[in-house]
Amino acid sequence: MDLTKDAEAAQSALRTMWTIRRFEEAVDDLFGRGLMHGTMHLSIGQEAVPTGACLALADGDYITSTHRGHGHCIAKGAKLDRMMAELLAKETGYCRGRGGSMHIADVATGNLGANGIVAGGVPIAAGAGLAVRMRRQPHAVLSFFGDGAVNEGAWHEGVNLAAIWDLPVVFVCENNHYGMSMAVNKAFRVERLAERAKAYGIPGVTVDGNDPQAVHDAVAEAVERARAGRGPSLIEAVTYRWKGHSKSDKNLYRSREEIDSWRERDPITLFEAAVLGSGTLAEAELERCRDEARDAVRDAIRTANAAPDAAADELASAVYAGGPS
Amino acid sequence: MDLTKDAEAAQSALRTMWTIRRFEEAVDDLFGRGLMHGTMHLSIGQEAVPTGACLALADGDYITSTHRGHGHCIAKGAKLDRMMAELLAKETGYCRGRGGSMHIADVATGNLGANGIVAGGVPIAAGAGLAVRMRRQPHAVLSFFGDGAVNEGAWHEGVNLAAIWDLPVVFVCENNHYGMSMAVNKAFRVERLAERAKAYGIPGVTVDGNDPQAVHDAVAEAVERARAGRGPSLIEAVTYRWKGHSKSDKNLYRSREEIDSWRERDPITLFEAAVLGSGTLAEAELERCRDEARDAVRDAIRTANAAPDAAADELASAVYAGGPS
Amino acid sequence: MTSTVDTVRELTYAEAIREALAQAMEADERVFLFGEDVGIYGGAFGVTGDLVHRFGTERVRDTPISELGIVGAAVGAALAGMRPIVEIQFSDFTAQAMDQIANQAAKIHFMLGGAAEVPMVLRAPGGSGTGAAAQHSQSLEAWFAHVPGLKVVMPATVADAKGLLLAAIDDPNPVVVLEHKLLYKQSGQVPADSGRVPLGEAAIRREGTDLTMVATGVMVSRALEAADQLAADGISATVVDPRTLKPLDSGSIVDAVVATGRALLVQEAPRSGGFMAEVAALIGDSPAFGYLRAPIRRLCGLDVPIPYAPQLERAAVPQVPDIVAEATRLVREW
Amino acid sequence: MTSTVDTVRELTYAEAIREALAQAMEADERVFLFGEDVGIYGGAFGVTGDLVHRFGTERVRDTPISELGIVGAAVGAALAGMRPIVEIQFSDFTAQAMDQIANQAAKIHFMLGGAAEVPMVLRAPGGSGTGAAAQHSQSLEAWFAHVPGLKVVMPATVADAKGLLLAAIDDPNPVVVLEHKLLYKQSGQVPADSGRVPLGEAAIRREGTDLTMVATGVMVSRALEAADQLAADGISATVVDPRTLKPLDSGSIVDAVVATGRALLVQEAPRSGGFMAEVAALIGDSPAFGYLRAPIRRLCGLDVPIPYAPQLERAAVPQVPDIVAEATRLVREW
Ligand SMILES: Cc1ncc(C[n+]2csc(CCOP(=O)(O)OP(=O)(O)O)c2C)c(N)n1
Ligand SMILES: Cc1ncc(C[n+]2csc(CCOP(=O)(O)OP(=O)(O)O)c2C)c(N)n1
Ligand SMILES: [Mg+2]
Ligand SMILES: [Mg+2]
């Protein structure tokens, strides 16, 4: 699928990227004004990765996500109002206010959950892949994780299981150059994280994570491979987060210039230029995508705000499935 | 050092290999006769690895060892009687009867311990390497582990830490083709485990683990590199264990023929043939090495048997260093 | 599963577990086993035995040595519609997998607001007595019983080994089944077909009047043996086996203590922070409080790692004479 | 460390920890810190702050995200003569490192027959109240207190944050220091030079006559606040802060309960199998048993993962009014 040539695909990609951007900006704003609780990990600047990746997925496919998971959740098809309700600690939130940002998920669209544990979703993805395989389903599983996750034992074990059993899993590393403050070049002694794939005998590629097309193509190929029973792949999508790691971040570990240089490579701006340049979409259509995204996020906030707060009275009975025990 | 050309080195290597062999045979016998407790993991057939490796080490260097650790302990210079006393649950044992086979260690010779946890010693070796580095000592740390350990998260994390910090650690994989019953070709999707080294940006080599010279040369080079501050290396020594994994093993996962083919590649027989062939040692000298090993093990059993049993009365006070608390 | 009359046969604890596994796999294709050496090797303790020949290598699946990955894969498989049963070779290695057990499996149902379930079983043998030393002999039930979202069972009899496991497999939550190495070869009566033992119900193994002993795992049979000896000495003991530690059948325990006025709580695990502390605490804040004629006593493993030497290993955990002595003291002195 | 008069200043809990770290590093070159983001970032909670500028990147060392490797490296460094201090960013992630904590660090001295020591400190913040949800808010002290070979401290005041940490660094054993996120910004008096607080000594934070409250972590200040309110209501409470959970100063707790006849045990962690179960058990089998005028009551976190929503999070753990209410009930009804 050529996102810059196919008008429908281009609009879809653009709308998703703008929706993520606007959603994250709204969260940033609500949080800054003390209307949101906890901590938030925003994915502004990284929108092309979930967007390009999820465009290569089909219904029934699964994803596992991370602490920086709003974009994954949106790109996989979740409803904005239920996401916003979750962050606003409402009863109508996806997790009924129990999970919040770090556990947000629309299970119905195949999102097995954001995860507060770095690399926590990686072996879970392998297991979902095993289930798909054993149930002879045609689905693929896509596991998102950051560069920082790659040095966790869970990552190593999860990727190896998927590799030796030829499981239909696509491992997508969002390499945004830092695991919190730890620079990739200090945490690794390899140039490209995709090189790690060889250790498990699976293909590994590095793509421009600010280009939804590049991400899409790599994921589409890996998904095809997965569905064909030829096992997992590792895709390293190189990108950058504009905002601090979370609210406590003073950005001491990186320079203003570095941040600025990446802002100049804004995935949305670049993509808009590409689709405009190729004549696929006109400025008015871009404008409509932007407006739709803005309105959708505004609506979501409105709907979420009107919902009842999550109720504390059922807490204890919510721990176990199948009724209280 | 050319073990097959230098008479002293040849004798040393041969004596160590025979000592390990005789020690393990004695343990097998004592265990079989119900005189030894617990479980035992014997390294018969793998003697060339610790022998060749430890000949490349110097005083002050550390090792970490495994559940199959008698050979490592012997090759690093431990006293046989105190080892035997440990296995016989005596007060004079290295661990005062508290550790047994899976925790055997002569800390004074730099052995930081056998480990009942697969891959448990790998991050510990990285940490010892960090200490050596921070204390500006000239030492190296050698970590022994099996093929099975390589898929553990602990291995991944430990090797990466050593790699990114250029620590003086040599990772020696005793690839005996199985992690218990799990064949290497089922547990990995790579041909050679040494290929994993690339994922951490460190050198990796595969050597004949039944040839003490090959092991020695690879380790010596890695140790030199480590001491020079150029970081860790991974060495895969391909070998085979003749006996079952432990006493519960019925050898269902491998064939008689496979075992026999490896017995024909007995590292001791091959080495004896080499030193005899090159004229470095005469048959009488080989015989002396064998006799010395046999006698040393016999003496160790005698001494150990005469020692008092480990005493239960001080158990509770043995948990914390620095006196009871 | 076509017979209608439920025949009772003599099986070992290991065989009873294997039978439960086989029946669950026959009844439900979503059920499968995986873990280290569960296939051709038949399990480090021989529990899975010939199951790989009966169900194939897909459903009785050998794994590399990677406990965290294994449990994580079970979580993922459960989320995606399977009913995985994981064997961790020694319960000590749950330490490797603790994130996936406690932070993922236990919490996902709650964290996702009920939108997902994690129906999985984690079997692992605990306990000392085999000379396997400190890293292969722990009794870690207290760790799991402290994690909301997990259910925890400790079968102490052959029938329960089958019955509790079947109930655990049925349960829509993650259940940790802590078996005991010393029990694997013990024999006992087991119903052939059903025999499910509901989670959350204690068993009163013996009824008496002078004191109540609460014991778990291998301590159940030791407490029963002690009770026999005590009876010969004129002391009449109730023995309660909680069977499920979480959710705990506190009612049965409290009732038994009300009836006898004395409680002796026996566990193999080290005393400090062990599961019997919870039992003591609940008795001390229950209706039984008013009936207590003596302090609530615990007889536990020493606060030491399990040593290798057989004489040290024995000294580290309660033996039958220790139970008899402690029970006698409690009854005679109070 | 040249001044002779010990000046007392006002610091925050985080600053007090930082001061202890700095003083220990100045005094002993073997002491060094490592962990995720402890360097230039200054620690996720700002505890290490500017230490990297004062001691350099060798001794204040950033690590990749690999908790098991980090703790394992600390074990190895300790065995090879260093005195490592590890920061685990949230105590929840000790689950990742549990093998190296419980199976290695805790047991090596014993397993090797005393031939080696593992002098290391593992610092980690626990507790809820920041909206970080189930995987970032646990109170896991009970896990560690159940592992022979570990020492465990929970500083509840600013002075103890420094004093206990200094003692932990001096100790030749692995010590787990569980800090509390909500306390980091709290201020208090701290001695500039020394101020070591020996491990194993409880603090009687307040003395009363009607009941004894035992509380840990952030519950200490809540219990004290509750005690103030209770006093206004004519109820006089003792508040005991164990400070060190292992080895536990059981004598001070028992004495306090003997003196008041009632015990209310307050913890943030979920009730089942929590540390206060151990405290209840030891009171119930101590000389205090004969002095008890009321059941031994626990007021604990609910048996639920910590939820995200602030209103749910508050409901999940004891708050001051809950303590007041429970204490009142205990005194008025018994
Ligand atoms: C096991 C674990 N360790 C540490 C943390 C704390 N933490 C949360 S996010 C983060 C950085 C993750 O980096 P990366 O994987 O690159 O993802 P990014 O934040 O860059 O998207 C850290 C250290 C955690 N949540 N889980
Ligand atoms: C963490 C952990 N998992 C599993 C085991 C059980 N176990 C002991 S040795 C072993 C096989 C190890 O294989 P390998 O590392 O190749 O060493 P080898 O036995 O072949 O020398 C297993 C599974 C263990 N001791 N520790
Ligand atoms: Mg990152
Ligand atoms: Mg092997």
Same fold, D8-191 and D203-332: yes
- How many domains is chain B built from? 1
Tell me the average pLDDT of chain B: 97
Catalytic residue among C15, C19, C36, C67: C67
Query: Within a domain: residue B322?
Result: no
Residue bearing the bigger pLDDT, A19 or D2: A19
Chain centre distance of CA A206 = 17
Catalytic residue among C19, C36, C109, C136: C136
Distance B297 CA to ligand 1 centre (A): 53
Q: Which of C32, C112, C199 to mutate to test the interface with A (most CBs of A within 10 A)?
A: C112
Q: Does residue C180 carry a catalytic annotation? A: no
For strand D203-206 and strand A169-175, is the pairing parallel, antiparallel, or unpaired? unpaired
A315 contacts D309? CB cut-off 8 A: no
Sequence ranges of the domains in chain C = 8-191, 203-332
CA of D63, nearest ligand number: 1
Give C110 to chain D, closest Cα distance, Å.
7
- Is residue B315 a part of any domain in this protein? no
Flag if B128 and D72 touch (Cβ within 8 Å): no
Region B204-231 average pLDDT: 98
Q: Is B136 on the interface with D (CB under 8 A)?
A: no
Contacts of B157 in chain A (CB under 8 A): 151-153, 156
Q: B39 lies in a domain?
A: yes
CA distance D58 to D61: 6
pLDDT in tens, D142-161: 999 999 999 999 999 999 99
| Candidate from D93, D248, D297 with C-beta closest to C285 | D297
- Are the C-beta atoms of A27 and A76 separated by less than 8 Å? no
Residue nearest to atom 5 of ligand 2 (CA): B118
Q: What is the pLDDT of residue D1?
A: 42
Give yes or no for residue D5 having a pLDDT over 90.
no
pLDDT the model gives residue D193: 83
Q: Decide if B107 and D116 are in contact by the 8 Å CB cutoff.
A: yes
End-to-end Cα distance, chain B:
50
User: Tens of pLDDT along B288-298?
Assistant: 999 999 999 99
Predicted pLDDT at C194: 79
Give, for D108, the enclosing helix (H) or strand (E): helix D106-111
What distance in Å separates the CA atoms of residue B235 and residue B312, rounded to the nearest whole number?
42
Cα(A175) to centroid(ligand 3), Å: 5
Nearest-atom index, ligand 2, CA of B116:
25
A99 to D133: CB separation less than 8 angstroms, yes or no: yes
CATH tag, D8-191: 3.40.50.970
B207: which strand partners? B237
Judge whether residue C124 has pLDDT over 50.
Answer: yes
What would the mean pLDDT of A94-117 be, rounded to a whole number? 97
Q: Given this model, what pLDDT does residue B248 score?
A: 82
Q: Does residue C5 surpass a pLDDT of 90?
A: no
Q: Report the residue from D80, D100, D172 with minimal CB separation from B123.
A: D100
- At A247 the pLDDT is 82
**Residue of A66, A118, A185 best suited for mutating to test ligand 1, as the one with most atoms within 8 Å of CB:** A118
Reply yes or no on domain D203-332 having CATH 3.40.50.920.
yes
Atom of ligand 2 nearest to the CA of C136: 25
DSSP A309: B
- For the Cβ of D45 lying below 6 angstroms from any atom of ligand 1, the answer is no
pLDDT at position A248 is 82
What pLDDT, in 10s, does the model give residues C204-252?
Answer: 999 999 999 999 999 999 999 999 999 999 999 999 999 999 999 999 9
Q: Atom 20 in ligand 2: which residue has the minimum CA distance?
A: B179
Task: Pick C6 or C301 by higher pLDDT.
Answer: C301
Quote the CA–CA distance of B247 and B180 in Å, as a whole number: 11
Atom of ligand 1 nearest to the CA of A117: 26
Per-residue pLDDT reduced to its tens digit, C183-209: 999 999 999 887 999 999 999 999 999
CATH for B114:
3.40.50.970
Q: pLDDT band for position B324 (50/70/90)?
A: very low
For residue A325, being part of any structural domain is answered with no
Above 60 in pLDDT, residue C119? yes
Q: What is the domain range of residue A92? A: 7-309
Closest to C120 in 3D by CA, of A185, B100, D203, A127? A127
**Which atom of ligand 1 sits closest to the CA of residue A245?**
19
Residue of D146, D293, D306 to mutate when probing chain C, most C C-beta within 10 A: D146
Rounded Cα gap, residues A61 and C137, in angstroms: 42
CA of B146 to the centre of ligand 4 (A): 5
Which tens digits make up the pLDDT trace of D110-119?
A: 999 999 999 9
Span D80-91, pLDDT tens digits: 999 999 999 999
Specify the residue with its C-alpha closest to ligand 1, atom 22.
Answer: A180
* D76·B124 Cβ contact <8 A: yes
Per-residue pLDDT at B176 exceeds 70: yes
Q: Could you give the percent of chain C with pLDDT greater than 90?
A: 96
Task: Identify which of A151, A154, A164 has the shortest CB distance to residue B189.
Answer: A164
Which residues place a Cβ less than 5 A from the ion ligand 3? Answer: A 146-148, 176, 179
The residue among A103, A135, A320, A325 with the most chain C CBs within 10 A of its CB, best to mutate, is A320
Determine the pLDDT at residue B1. 86
Active-site choice (D67, D141, D268, D313): D67
pLDDT at D199 over 80: yes
Does D112 sit in the ligand 1 pocket, CB within 6 Å? no
Percent of chain A with pLDDT over 70: 99
What is the arithmetic mean of pLDDT over C150-166? 98
CA distance A136 to chain D (A): 33
Within-domain flag for A172 = yes
Question: What does the H/E/C string look like for chain B?
Answer: CCCCCCHHHHHHHHHHHHHHHHHHHHHHHHHHCCCCCCCCCCCCCCCHHHHHHHCCCCCCCEEECCCCCHHHHHHCCCCHHHHHHHHCCECCCCCCCCCCHHHCCCHHHCECCCCCCCCCHHHHHHHHHHHHHHCCCCCCEEEEEEHHHHHCHHHHHHHHHHHHCCCCEEEEEEECCEECCEEHHHHCCCCCHHHHHHHHCCCEEEEECCCHHHHHHHHHHHHHHHHCCCCCEEEEEECCCCCCCCCCCCCCCCCHHHHHHHHCCCHHHHHHHHHHHCCCCCHHHHHHHHHHHHHHHHHHHHHHHHCCECCHHHCHHHCCCCCCC
Minimal CA separation from C67 to chain A, in Å? 8
Answer whether residue D3 shows pLDDT above 80. no
State which residue of chain C sits closest to B99, comparing Cα positions. C308
> Looking at residues C113-130, what average pLDDT do you find?
98
Rounded to a whole number, what is the distance in Å from the CA of D25 to chain A's nearest CA? 23
Tens digit of each residue's pLDDT (9 = 90 or more) over C272-297:
999 999 999 999 999 999 999 999 99
Query: Between A and B, how many CB-CB pairs are < 8 A?
Result: 66
Query: Is the ipTM value over 0.85, yes or no?
Result: yes
Three-state SS string over A201-248 comes to CCCEEEEECCCHHHHHHHHHHHHHHHHCCCCCEEEEEECCCCCCCCCC
Using pLDDT thresholds of 50, 70 and 90, give the confidence band for residue C1: very low
Residue from D40, D48, D65 whose CB has the most chain A CBs within 10 Å, to mutate: D65
**Mean pLDDT computed over A70-85:** 98
Residue A1: per-residue pLDDT: 86
Q: How confident is the model at residue A283 (pLDDT cuts 50, 70, 90)?
A: very high
Please say if D67 is a catalytic residue: yes
Shortest CA gap A30–chain B (Å): 38
**Mean pLDDT of all residues in C10-20:** 98
Ligand 4 ion local residues (Cβ < 5 A)? B 146-148, 176, 179
**Share above pLDDT 70 across residues of chain D, in percent, rounded to a whole number:** 99
Q: How far is A32 from chain C (nearest CA, A)?
A: 24
User: Which residues in chain A have their CB less than 8 angstroms from residue B164's CB?
Assistant: 186-189
| Chains B & C: contacts with CB separation below 8 Å | 134
B315 in contact with chain C, both atoms CB, cutoff 8 A: yes
Residue B125 confidence (pLDDT) above 60? yes
Q: Is the CB of residue B3 less than 8 Å from the CB of residue B63?
A: no
Specify if A163 maps to a domain: yes
List all chains that touch chain A, counting a touch as 3 or more CB pairs closer than 8 Å: B, C, D
Q: Residue C177: phi, psi to the nearest 5? A: -110, 110
Amino acid letter, residue C210: D
